[in-house]
Amino acid sequence: MTFRPFEDFVPVAPVPAATIQKYSGALEEAVLEMWQLHGLGIAANGFLKIIDPEVYKEMIGEYLPRPNMVPLFATGLGDIVVAEAGNYRILQFRRARISGMSSSIRHLGLKITSADWRQEIYDSAPYDEAASTYGPLTARADFDDIYAYELPLPAGGVESAQSVTRARIFEHIALTTQLAGPIPFAG
């Protein structure tokens, strides 16, 4: 499967060669092509971040439902798209659940450039509203930032643009998981 490049991509850094080598043969070829073409960075008006799985495993690995999950993308709302056993899933830390499942990165990752797909697959409306109110997270300095609910949703937070704040994704995932418990994973 050939990777179709993001049009609004903001590069942050190249993907380390060791990471590409480690996952060569283990991940879909389109993921490796994406890493080689773009590297790490920001797309889809700041909603999507192509991340280094090794950094994310180090920072939030203890909060992943399974240790063999490979983080590939982060969203501007603190969700993580992971690869696991030939499938892709969205870990919605903001809601303490898993959503979406696909055997193709094209479905979960590469179609994110379409606002309709972002909303359907990722429930991105809260990000879009926050981005229009407070500004999109499109600068290199925004790479680890998200729009997070001041009180995480699983702990009783209110889902509205007025209740979001900028936060670092790693700390927000840790806080949400501490308040709501681990994301349940049945299969």
Q: What is the Cα–Cα distance from 120 to 151, expressed in whole angstroms?
A: 24
Q: What is the Cα–Cα distance from 53 to 120, expressed in whole angstroms?
A: 25
Beta strands in 76-144 (DSSP E): 80-84, 87-92, 97-102
* 76 close to 127: Cβ distance less than 8 angstroms: yes
Q: Which has the closest alpha carbon to 172: 112, 114, 95, 118?
A: 95
Per-residue pLDDT tens listing for the chain (187 residues): 455 667 788 999 999 999 999 999 999 888 898 899 889 999 999 999 999 999 999 999 999 999 999 999 999 999 999 999 888 889 999 988 888 767 677 665 556 667 787 787 788 899 999 999 999 999 999 999 999 999 888 888 888 888 899 999 999 999 999 988 888 876 5
CA Rg value for the chain: 15
Burial of 87 (0-12, 13-18, 19+ CB in 10 A): middle
